[in-house]
Amino acid sequence: MGDCTAVLYAESMIYRFSPFELDMAKFELRADGEVRPVEPQVFALLALLVENRERMVSRDEIVEKVWDGRIVSDSAIASRIKSARQALGDDGTTQRFIKTIHRQGFRFVADAKVAGTAGAASTPMEPCGTPPAEHGSRPSIAVLPFRRLGATGPYAAMADALPHELITELARLHWLFVTARESSFRLRGADADAAEIGRLLGVRYYLAGTVETTGTRLVVTVELTDTRDGGIVWAEQFSGAIDEVHQVREDIRSRILAALEIRIPLHEAALARLTVTENLDAWSAYHLGLQHMYRFNRTDNAAATALFQQSIAKDPGFARAHAGLSFVHFQTAFMHYTEDLAGEIELSRRFALRGLELDPIDPFVNFAMGRSFWLEGDLGSSLAWLERATSISPNYAQGIYARGWTETLADHSLEGRRHVDLAMRLSPLDPLYYAMLGTRAFTHMMRGEDAEAAEWAERAARSPGAHVLIAMIAVAAHALAGDGLRAASWAVQVRSRNPALTRDDFFRAFPMQSATTRERVAQALARFGF
């Protein structure tokens, strides 16, 4: 593979709902261990419903994710739902697995549990014999989304927002290995024991909790658990008047940090403290927007935009909400949701700049600023901001991945590989894991290691959530590796998902600085009609 980097990756989950297993890596539905054949779109529909079982999935989201936004009839959706039910021995009357929400969407209602990961903890040994990277003696922790007990009303966002803020603060500490939010939040509602959580996320401890309201009081309970023996290391209950919710939140954060024996000098605490709004409505809207932002489809991107705008309307000084708007406008340009690419890039830059004016040391704000330069091909400016983001928060997995992506396209592929491997180790269940795999493929493509590039690109394109540009990477990688059949197969899928996609779109999204590599990739894509 060229260097001695050992990569830890977990490609996708296995979900179990008796007597079935849904294997996301093998694209298999099994009943009592026997494979039950289903069409690809039916499998994709089942995967979408099971992965989002805590909520209703709208018809629009199904069209975005399963049909990639193409216009389809209600009868086509109904046909796939019927096939999915038949594969599970279900029907529209009993609805034991898939429940219809009239005129709105569908929800998976069976008790599904995370049974494991396909490919988890796979650690290939490099030719030089370097052992896989380990956490060593460094403490490692995951903070899971908290559970809501009863009706929490307008305070429901606390269950996601408080763990998110704890992750952000803990990740700023160089000595503590912290699993990224995008991986730990994938275990939302999972009924896994401590050992399984430790294995899935590769951590020694995890922090979990509950949020509830009783009358005029808000009650938050937290537990720190050792994944090796399931023992509770520390537990505490916090409560306070609802109208003092931000004081309660601050008390929780400080008590947890003290319990973990984190001592930060006062002058560093002033820099490290996450700036958050004191307006609860703005704060809640921002965290709800995050839930939509990472789904990478038009419908959710629009929903995230509206929520970030709502947050800013409530509190114009909330830096992270401005960074969120920068992210969604970047996504609109990157995924070509509009023809006004220049306008979207300008908006992405404008909101990132405003975020920097409000909080220049927030890592997410610096990350957003760095991404705003991508689509202009200004990788040098992008890299400077991404380096700043990761120096502020050394365990910021998506910032590290974005830095590796930029370094790779700037023809510094070994540095890019080191950073993307670290990002995958920090966040093995990340919703953007497919993009990390795609970046790993690019690191090999840039060095002429075509067989390895094809292997990584195949995994990237087959990963849940991978968008159409990732499939186009697979076309190029397989073509360069001499596998015309696989390249042609992926080319057919690209055209079925977006017939208008061109080679220029590919290079706009992935502005390679190496003229040699760019020409090789251009010729490879041209052989398959792009």
**Domain positions in the chain:** 12-115, 140-272, 275-394, 410-530
Give yes or no for a contact between 455 and 41, defined as CB atoms under 8 angstroms apart. Answer: no
Averaged pLDDT for residues 381-388: 96
Q: What is d(CA 212, CA 143) in angstroms, rounded to the nearest whole number?
A: 18
State pLDDT tens for residues 465-508.
888 999 999 999 999 999 999 999 999 999 998 898 899 999 99
Reported as a pLDDT band with limits 50, 70 and 90, residue 7 is very low
CA–centroid distance for 343 within its chain: 26
Q: Which CATH superfamily is domain 140-272 in?
A: TolB, N-terminal domain (3.40.50.10070)
Domain 12-115 is found in CATH 3.30.420.40: no
- Say which CATH class 410-530 falls into: mainly alpha
User: For residue 364, how far is the Cα from the chain centroid?
Assistant: 14
Confidence category of residue 117, pLDDT binned at 50, 70, 90: low
Residue with tokens 């979207």: 344
**Is residue 412 within 8 Å of 441, Cβ to Cβ?**
no
Query: How far, in Å, CA of 505 to CA of 296, rounded?
Result: 17
pLDDT at 290: 81
**What is the average pLDDT across 231-250?**
80
Helix (H) or strand (E) holding 462: helix 450-462
Please list, in sequence order, all residues whose beta carbon lies within 8 angstroms of the beta carbon of residue 378, skipping any fewer than 6 positions away: none
Statement: residue 122 has pLDDT above 50: no
What does the pLDDT read at residue 261?
Answer: 44
**Percentage of the chain exceeding pLDDT 90:** 40
Q: Tell me which of 106-120, 425-439, 486-500, 507-521 is least confident.
A: 106-120
Q: pLDDT at position 476, please?
A: 97
What single letter denotes the amino acid at residue 485?
L
Q: In which band, very low, low, confident or very high, does the pLDDT at 175 lie, cut at 50, 70 and 90?
A: low
For residue 187, count other CB atoms closer than 10 A to its CB. 22
**Residue % of the chain over a pLDDT of 70:** 86
The pLDDT assigned to 377 comes to: 92
DSSP letter for 187, please: G
Tell me the C-alpha to C-alpha distance, in Å, between residue 116 and each of 12, 119, 182, 190.
Answer: 9, 9, 17, 11
Q: What are phi and psi of 208, to 5 degrees?
A: -130, 165
Asked whether residue 191 carries a pLDDT value surpassing 80, the answer given is no
Q: How confident is the model at residue 55, as a pLDDT?
A: 83
Please tell me the predicted confidence (pLDDT) of residue 363: 87
Between 131 and 104, residue with greater pLDDT:
104
Is the previous residue joined to 19 through a cis bond, with omega within 30 degrees of 0? yes
Mean pLDDT for all residues in the chain: 83
Q: 127 pLDDT exceeds 60?
A: no
CA-wise closest residue to 167 among 238, 260, 233: 260
SS (HEC) of 9-41: ECCEEEEEECCEEEECCCCEEEECCEECCCCHH
Structure-token pair, residue 282: 């703005």
Fold of 275-394: 1.25.40
Say if 12-115 and 275-394 have the same CATH topology.
no
